[in-house]
Amino acid sequence: MKARMKKLISIKSIPILALALLIVLGSALAAGRDPVSISGQVTLTEVPPFFGTATVTIGGEELAGTVAVIPMAPPVPKDGGLYFPEVKHVFELDDGSTLTTTGEELAMPTDENPAISTLHGNMEITGGTGVFGGASGELRVNGQMDWSVGQATFNANGVISR
């Protein structure tokens, strides 16, 4: 009876041990990830890339600089808007660091003014230099493109590992 009881206790403890291991591993993996936000604006021209300014914020520290938004493939019509299947953002910050993202974006015209589109996208942080050397992560992009004044504004939020 004692042997059987010990076996039951050890079998019952396996899920608890597995959960403890997951918590420890999850904490270790998440330790290198920081929240990141980026805001910026670019001038829209007939021929890309689009250039402008941006601010990258990590842990309360703001880094200002410039941004180039480069559509790597022509946009295609999708759901009444324009789908950019591959867009690259290159941020060159005043401290000499760079940050690069790639992803997709969808620009949907607003009902009020067809020259203004809301912008939504998902970006992957694919690298950088300086404080962003070896960076990776994900961003969700929201913004607005106003072709009547030739300007786009955007905000991106996500996580970064560096």
8: tokens are 């039951």
The H or E element that residue 71 is part of is strand 61-71
Residue 95: φ, ψ to 5°: -85, 5
Q: For the chain, which residues make up each domain, given as ranges?
A: 1-31, 34-161
| Residue 59 falls in which region: left (phi positive, over 0), alpha (psi -120 to 50) or beta | left
Within its chain, how far is the Cα of 118 from the centroid? 17
Sign of the C-alpha dihedral computed for residues 34, 39, 42 and 47 taken in this order: positive
Whole-number pLDDT of residue 59: 83
Q: Which residue ranges in the chain fall short of pLDDT 70?
A: 1-31
Whole-number pLDDT of residue 11: 56
117: tokens are 């589109």
Output the CA angle 96-137-69, nearest 5 degrees.
55
CB 97 within 8 A of CB 87: no
134: tokens are 């070896």
Whole-number pLDDT of residue 21: 38
State the burial class of residue 88 (Cβ atoms within 10 Å of its Cβ: 0-12, 13-18, 19+).
Answer: middle
Whole-number pLDDT of residue 77: 97
**Nearest Cα to 107, choosing from 96, 93, 119?**
119
Whole-number pLDDT of residue 12: 58
